[in-house]
Amino acid sequence: MGVFDLPQHVVASAQAGDPAARDELTEACLPLVMRWSSRLCPSGVDPEDVAHDALVRALTALPSLRDPARFPAWLYRTVTRTIGAHRRRAWLRRWVPGLEPDEREADEESSGPRDSMLIQRVREALQALPEPQREVLVLCEIEGYTTQQAAELLEIPQGTVKSRMRLGRERFAREAHIRGLDHLVERHIARRGG
């Protein structure tokens, strides 16, 4: 189920405190929030932790949502704000002695296999993009949303999405070139083909 397919009455019931509706909403949002976290998080931030915190925040703040029709955009903003908070926390861990990274971060089973060099470089190239361009690129090019859906999620005009997409593509092409992804992608295609 996509974020735009969530029935509004389920959101409204969950807001009213119906436990079954909250469970249904959690189950529907969980893969979505996990996907957004995985694709928007910088290296050094655990997407699973972000997804967990974002869902807890969303469920806690759900009664404050005025218009259930705006739930997709509201949920997306909750995820991006949680990513921002985790990024700042990760930065603090790097700079403040004694604050070690979570044990879980090193646990391969919990965070999944480490990114390959190609994926790591793509993540770096995406992170080098300004945030507005990165968001549009991830939503439209990776998640497969239409520009209209992305505009709804980001609560910006469709024309702005299109211009950010154009700039994002150009910038991504440059960043990918700088990181030597031309050669890596050829090898990747050859390996896949084989």
Partner 1 sequence: MNRRDEELLRAFGEATEPRDAQLDRLRRRMQASAPSPSAAKALLPLLPGPSVEQLHSLRLRLERSRTSAARRPVRIVLPTMALLAAAAVLLFLFWPQSQFSPQPLAAPSESVTVQPMDELRLSYVGEGELHGTASEPLIRWDWGRIEVALEPEAGIPLEIRTPDGYVQVVGTQFSVDVGTTETTVAVSEGRVLVACGADTALLETGQSRTCLPGTDARWLTRINARYASEGATEELLAELHDQQPYPEGTGYELRRLDVELLSQLGHFDEALLAAEAFAELDGPRRQEALAGAAALGHALHGCERARPHLLELRKLDQLGLVPELTPCLEEAP
Burial 128-150 (b: 16+ CB within 10 A, else e): ebeebbbbbbbbbeebebebebb
CB 123 within 8 A of CB 43: yes
Using the CB atoms, write b or e for 85-114: b if 16+ within 10 Å.
ebbeebeeeeeeeeeeeeeebeeeeeeeee
Among 85, 90, 128, 156, binds partner 1 (CB under 8 A): 128
Q: Is residue 155 at the binding interface for partner 1, with CB under 8 A as the rule? A: no
Between residue 3 and residue 42, which ones bind partner 1 under the rule CB under 8 A?
17, 19, 22, 26-27, 30-31, 34-35, 38-39
Q: Is 1 in the site for partner 1 (CB under 8 A)?
A: no
Q: Which residues bind partner 1 (CB under 8 A)?
A: 17, 19, 22, 26-27, 30-31, 34-35, 38-39, 47-48, 51-52, 55-56, 59-60, 91, 95, 110, 112, 115-116, 118-119, 122-123, 125-126, 128, 137, 141-143, 169, 172-176, 178, 181-182, 185, 188-189
